[in-house]
Amino acid sequence: MPELTLTVNRRAVTLDVPRDTSLLHLLRNDLSLNGPKYGCGQGSCGACTVHVDGVAARACVIPAHGIAGRHITTLEGLGMNMAPTLPCSAWSAAPPGGPFRLGSGPAAKEHWHPVQAAFEEAQAAQCGYCLNGMVMQTAALLARDPKPSEARIRAELAGNLCRCGTHVEILAAVTRAAELLSSTKPA
């Protein structure tokens, strides 16, 4: 099998994976990162959204070998980008030797990305299946546009499907995340 090297959640990984492996399958099956979900398999629902070099992308339709050398951030690693100087005790490795992800317990939640905190605060999930995509798409939006209008938020999330009807809460969460992020940036 061909070797592939990329950076996942701020950690370089090298794996032997078949050329037809999607990024989603590599993340879930080889690295045990289950934030991105398999939804439609066509890049239409948003459940598999990750960041590739900081840009939201649909992992189910990206060939893993097509992103060799790139930086991938999953839901598990999103908070790492906000806290680059956290003590090692705040992180755990899973699987052994695999990419770092935020550990569990109070130390992990304390270092969530503001978007994750806002989604919890707004109770913007019911079943949670769409949550990965909504959070990752929101984080990408707010990185580009720190104060989006409601119309911009709706347009950005239009490709992320939620069957449970928590759209009002999701909109509130995005607005709250923008507020949280603006309060963490120096004036």
At 23, which helix (H) or strand (E)?
helix 23-25
What pTM was computed for the model?
Answer: 0.86
Cα distances from 112 to residues 40, 93, 101, 118, in angstroms, run 28, 17, 11, 10
**What pLDDT, on the 0 to 100 scale, is given for residue 127?**
87
DSSP at 68:
T
Nearest Cα to Cα of residue 49 among 70, 24, 71: 24
**What pLDDT, on the 0 to 100 scale, is given for residue 32?**
95
Query: Hey, is 170 helix, strand or coil?
Result: helix
Contacts of 63 (CB under 8 A, 6+ apart): 19, 20, 21, 22, 23
Q: How far apart are CA 47 and CA 36, in angstroms?
A: 6
Q: How far apart are CA 93 and CA 90, in angstroms?
A: 10
Q: Which residues pair with 51 in a beta bridge?
A: 56, 73
At 176, which helix (H) or strand (E)?
helix 167-184
The mean pLDDT of the chain is: 87
**What pLDDT, on the 0 to 100 scale, is given for residue 107?**
53
**What pLDDT, on the 0 to 100 scale, is given for residue 96?**
40
Q: Take residue 68 and report the two structure tokens written for it.
A: 């060799």
Question: pLDDT below 50 — which residues of the chain?
Answer: 84-100, 102-103
Q: How far apart are CA 175 and CA 172, in angstroms?
A: 5
